Structure 1
Amino acid sequence: MEPPIRMEAPICLIENTANGKLVVNSEAIRFLSGINQPVVVVAIVGMYRTGKSYLMNKLAGAQKGFNLGATIQAETKGIWMWCVPHPLKKNHTLVLLDTEGLGDVEKGDGKNDIWIFTLALLLSSAMVYNSKGTIDQDAVDKLKFVGELTEIIKVKSKDNEEEEQKFSRHFPIFIWAVRDFHLSLQIEGGQVSADGYLENALKLKQPEMSPRNMAYNNPRICLQMYFGNRKCFVFDFPTTNKEFLQRLEEVPDDELNKNFVDQCKEFCDYIWKNADTKRVNETVIVTGHRLGELAKIYTEAVSSSKFACMEDAALSLAEMENKAAVQEATQHYEDKMKTVGFPTETLDDFMTLSSQYEDEARKIFLKRSFNDKDQQFLREYMENIQKKKEEFSVMNEAKSREVCQALIKKHSADFDKALKEGAYHTQGGHAKFKDGLKAIEKKYNMQSGKGVKAEEVLQKFIKSQQSSEIIIIQEDNALNQKQKEEEEENARKKIVAMEEELQKLQETQQEQKMEEERDNVEKTFNQLMQKMEEDKKILNEALEQVKRQKERNQQLFMDQGLPRHANMYREQIKEIQEEQKEQSGPAWYKPIVDTFKDVVVAVIPGLLVKGGTVLKETISKKYFNN
């Protein structure tokens, strides 16, 4: 289990340089690269001098951290980051992003504001918009960036006029924090919640096509379309003491307005409970390392005045992660196999260890890999494992031959000396020769640790003695001619029998290897499909959530008497339902199964048996037979 990650103090993640360029801080990326836990990313944006940093410190569970400042100058430049253990989600890291205040007159560049806003949006799983006073026209106008997002953010690399309708599938939950709120939460004399207050402020004006009303409605339409999951909190004044306001991070809660303190707690509790783990492509969990890569990809795109494409970012991240997954898994298998004491006693021992380490390597690969188009990285991983497995198999066999040949040499030393000295070229010499061979064979067979080539080395040794044995038989006057012929025949039969036995052993071992390959392929397929099933489940849950959000917006527009907008959501809901239908049938898994079979055929052609097709038992019948 990875230990909790905590920064002692925030550091700059994305620096806003003097020349107006945004640059990723390498120190922050190095820190993120060490976080392998999933991250929940909460970003806060809003006009400068609105108290954003105070709320972020509260989310971190700290009194101090992000610089609050106490003057009219904006303090935070760029985007600052603070990583702390998540207070509720075990083995998760909470990443807090405090952004440079929008509308800073000292910047003199409106583009800089939308860049900061866009990066906070793309990197977060929960986005807090902080404002003061009330949600009036001025407050909504300050969110004009929302209407410009289609110019800077693309879902897919290919242009799609309606792709902004899919923003809500990828955008974070949107939380509007209204600070120094001094009104009563009432509409037309009735009490409403903070959420009801927000939704009322987002209502459209009619007639909707008049130029004035279009300008009024456009940011509201975008907010409702892009952020299907919306929440609102209102906060009282923290204190009427001006001195306290200027050093708020030093003032204990019991000296602040109790309502304000309670509202801050409710705000933090909501975010801790409801801000999800950051994901890309709706299914892929973002770790600290991946967040750092996304920060680099998006900052480069935004800072170079290109649009930030979520599809391209996911593809770039996938390629980096998949390459790393192949390397990490292969290295794990190799490192583990290097610990094996060669030679193994049997082939089964070798395969048991190899399969165990392959299981571990496979889990490493599948855990880190994602968006593996055409399973090209799975194929590379399997090819690497096959290559390494063969290398270690050859190493195991070579070590076995070395050990066995040394044993033969040790036990046959006296026999070889007697043979050279002609001790067996006498009457009755053949019987002594056979006794000598049997003694060597007995001692050899009693020795353990010989490995997988024990039979082969013994056979080669006995076969190497055959020509000497025939000469000894011919010179042995204790044998008559018929006996000599019988002994020669028996010697040849013994060699043939040993060769046949060795052939059977090799065939058995080859079948063992193939059976082990089938088992490993089946494990790979089943674990791959399990991962795909889990991703499908997550995607379906995300689709269901988006559908509910769109159904809510559809009903809101119907209630407001805006059928055109209601019909737009009706069409979007139908598209989601069609996608859900596709996810429930063979259409989602058939390409995966077909591609996997092609990968197996390419990597392990020996499994092409029984009628020229990949063995059905290698692939789960649940998918194979559909």
Structure 2
Amino acid sequence: MSDGPPAMAAPVCLIENTDQGLQTVESSLNLLRRIQQPVVVVAVVGLYRTGKSYLMNRLAGQQSGFALGSTIESKTKGIWMWCVPHPVKEEHTLVLLDTEGLGDVDKVDSKNDIWVFCLAVLLSSTLVYNSRGTIDNQAIEKLHYVTELTSKIQVNCAGATNDEDPEDCEFVRFFPDFVWAVRDFTLEMKRGDQDMSEDQYLEFALELKKGRNRKVSDYNLSRDCIRNFFPTRKCFAFPFPMAANNMKHLNSMSEADLNPDFLKVTDRFCSSVFEEGRVKTTKGGHGVTGSRFSHLVKIYVDTINSGSIPCLENAVVVMVKIENESAVNEGFELYEQGMENCSKNFPIDVGTLSAEHQRLEAMAMQVFLKRSFKDTEEKYMTMLQERVAKLCDQLINKNMDASEKLCWKLLSDLYLPIAANIEKGIYAKTGGYAIYRHERDTMVAKYQQHGKKGMKGEEMLERFLQERSAEANSILMADQKLSEVEKQMAEARECEALQKQQVKVAEQHQQDLQRVREDEQRSQEERLRRMVEKMEEEKRLQLEELERAMDCKLKEQKEMMEKGFRNQADIMNQEIEQLKKEKEMEMEKEAGPGIFEKYIVPAAKIGATLLSTFLSYQIAPVFSDAH
């Protein structure tokens, strides 16, 4: 599949956990950089030796791949990655991230656990938390890493928020969907006499207690963070896959040897992740491709190693620069290669050159718009168009030089017999002018019949005739056969022929200019259409991000009201109002008057630059005295 994931026979290490800290693996980043499809990123986290890798192998559609340990030793170190074609979403890539087990007693630095957890949250669009047994208070307390996210992740740049608007309320806009996979579950899923679904079981386990004492606050802390940070929550309860004494052989067991109920839950889990898993997005709702994802991985790991706190906004700023510069280069390289192929056929006429320029520029713009994002000030789009305009200017020069050299050589070659006759004095006799004129007109006819003269064909003929006018006049004056009146009439005809050629040059220039104008008009209309589509798409993504966050907050607020948590409901109401204001501001931007200044004017300016290039080269020589 074009721009899809490379064939990977097995997972590769994406982030190493070394004695020097977390380190990205360049070869794995290079794999991601080749992927231009949107990525759905699923990361699994959890305590070590809880069977996380088995679920990831199933998501990859494989029996094995991610390491499954059969001893108490943790097998996965760092974060491992497997990229496969998405089984449900066409032209999407599924990126699976298997993280090392949390709480491994053999770790040199246990502080890495929180950073591994943070990276899983920052990088994924679906976060799977894997645990064993039941979702009780002890299980939730083991997920204490979630309470540290506010101190380990920033949404906005330093100073962008204040105490009255804490940014942890924004996490729900950018954090992944949360899936709790409960392994080896043996209890009946009931509340009193009522059966519960797995999702209801999770929500029951996450219910808050009323009260303000320290014990209640500690009880509510992790639950409150999970409820507030993650936009959607799901639960899957897996029974034992087989007898306990066979668990160490899980990766080699056939499906026929596994518990049918375990397989049913596994299939439901995989289907849910495939169907409901979202494309990874950045702040602003922009979809992430494999290439963009590679930048996120490196930015976040480098930030952690520097001792700083990863910031979503800063990551987007850095990624915008890297990706947009790459988009400019990719678009320009396409244009450059196409025009290099075109230049092999120089000289060509203006119409052919203009049409090829417009075609390749449109393709370059399409490539740029596909890869670029958040180019709000058109800085990178203008950079691409200026580079295209500069190369186009150079190619016009090159094409004209080729045309001028070819035409002048053609004229010189055709003129050689006439020059030889002048040298021999063939025309220096009575009636010589008629012979000269006949041979010169024959030469001109042969020149005009030549098919490939390029942009300067008529202009070079006009220049040639101008330079030979003194010669023709000398032969005319020396012809004793002609009377003075006949000489005057012949001289007038010479002047008239030269003027007709000048008019022909001007008409040709006008036709060329009209062709360029029409081509540029069509190109500009197409360019504007694509830019407006890009703007509308980015606006739609921004609004979807806000709407998703509002829906989540409204659902949570309703539940808080029903359970009597008035204070939490009031806080959420303030957050909802803030989201509404942001949405209104985005809607106003969309309907605002800036579309003309923002898109049409810059595009028209670039178009005018190219048009003026053709104008300067095509019209100026017509009125030059140099000829």
Same fold (TM over 0.5): yes
Query: Which of 332, 352, 355 pairs up with 2:355?
Result: 352
Question: What pairs with 1:540-559 in structure 2 (closer than 5 Å)?
Answer: 540-559=543-562
- State the alpha-carbon separation in 2 of the partners of residues 405 and 311 from structure 1: 61
Query: Which of 269, 272, 275 pairs up with 2:274?
Result: 272
Aligned to 2:620: none
Amino acid at match of 2:231: G
**Displacement, 1:85?**
2.0
On the 8 A contact 1:582/1:588 being kept in 2, the answer is no
* Mapped pair 1:239 → 2:242: yes
C-alpha deviations, 1:104-155, integer Å up to 9, x for none?
A: 1222544211100001111111100011111111111112121211111111
Tell me which moved more, 114-123 or 491-500. Answer: 491-500
Question: What pairs with 1:442-457 in structure 2 (closer than 5 Å)?
Answer: 442-457=445-460
Aligned to 1:303: 305
Aligned to 1:594: 597
**Displacement, 1:249?**
0.7
* Mapped pair 1:175 → 2:141: no
Question: What pairs with 1:437-516 in structure 2 (closer than 5 Å)?
Answer: 437-516=440-519
Question: What are the ranges of 5 or more consecutive residues in structure 1 without an aligned counterpart?
Answer: 610-626
Aligned to 1:382: 385
Aligned to 2:206: 202
Amino acid at match of 2:104: D
Amino acid at match of 1:400: S
* SS, match of residue 214 in structure 1: helix
Aligned to 2:259: 257
Amino acid at match of 1:30: N
Aligned to 1:83: 83
C-alpha deviations, 1:496-520, integer Å up to 9, x for none?
A: 3322332343244234334433433
TM-score by length of 1: 0.92
Amino acid at match of 1:90: E
Change (3 A) 1:123 1:589: farther
On the 8 A contact 1:518/1:607 being kept in 2, the answer is no
- State the alpha-carbon separation in 1 of the partners of residues 595 and 150 from structure 2: 33
- State the alpha-carbon separation in 2 of the partners of residues 591 and 318 from structure 1: 22
Aligned to 2:13: 12
- State the alpha-carbon separation in 2 of the partners of residues 141 and 312 from structure 1: 31
Question: What pairs with 1:522-601 in structure 2 (closer than 5 Å)?
Answer: 522-587=525-590, 590-591=593-594, 593-597=596-600, 599-600=602-603
C-alpha deviations, 1:407-452, integer Å up to 9, x for none?
A: 2122222112112222222212222222112101111111111122
* Mapped pair 1:122 → 2:122: yes
On the 8 A contact 1:5/1:85 being kept in 2, the answer is no
Aligned to 2:104: 104
* Mapped pair 1:433 → 2:418: no
Change (3 A) 1:588 1:300: farther
- State the alpha-carbon separation in 2 of the partners of residues 403 and 101 from structure 1: 73
Aligned to 1:624: none
- State the alpha-carbon separation in 2 of the partners of residues 120 and 512 from structure 1: 56
* SS, match of residue 537 in structure 1: helix
- State the alpha-carbon separation in 2 of the partners of residues 54 and 587 from structure 1: 46
Number of equivalent positions: 606
Aligned to 1:222: 225
On the 8 A contact 2:53/2:67 being kept in 1, the answer is yes
**Displacement, 1:588?**
6.1
Tell me which moved more, 25-34 or 465-474. Answer: 25-34
* Mapped pair 1:35 → 2:35: yes
Aligned to 1:623: none
- State the alpha-carbon separation in 2 of the partners of residues 453 and 345 from structure 1: 9
On the 8 A contact 1:152/1:302 being kept in 2, the answer is no
* SS, match of residue 154 in structure 1: coil
Aligned to 2:26: 26
Aligned to 1:64: 64
- State the alpha-carbon separation in 2 of the partners of residues 83 and 348 from structure 1: 47
- State the alpha-carbon separation in 2 of the partners of residues 251 and 171 from structure 1: 36
- State the alpha-carbon separation in 1 of the partners of residues 611 and 536 from structure 2: 27
On the 8 A contact 1:132/1:179 being kept in 2, the answer is yes
- State the alpha-carbon separation in 1 of the partners of residues 128 and 594 from structure 2: 40
- Taking only the aligned residue pairs, the percentage that are identical comes to 36
**Displacement, 1:46?**
0.6
**Aligned structure 1 segments of 4 or more residues deviating by more than 6 angstroms:** none
**Displacement, 1:537?**
2.1
* Mapped pair 1:158 → 2:161: no
Aligned-residue CA RMSD (Å) = 2.0
- State the alpha-carbon separation in 2 of the partners of residues 7 and 445 from structure 1: 62
Tell me which moved more, 541-550 or 558-567. Answer: 541-550
Question: What are the ranges of 5 or more consecutive residues in structure 2 without an aligned counterpart?
Answer: 613-627
C-alpha deviations, 1:265-307, integer Å up to 9, x for none?
A: 1111110111112122343332222222211111111222211
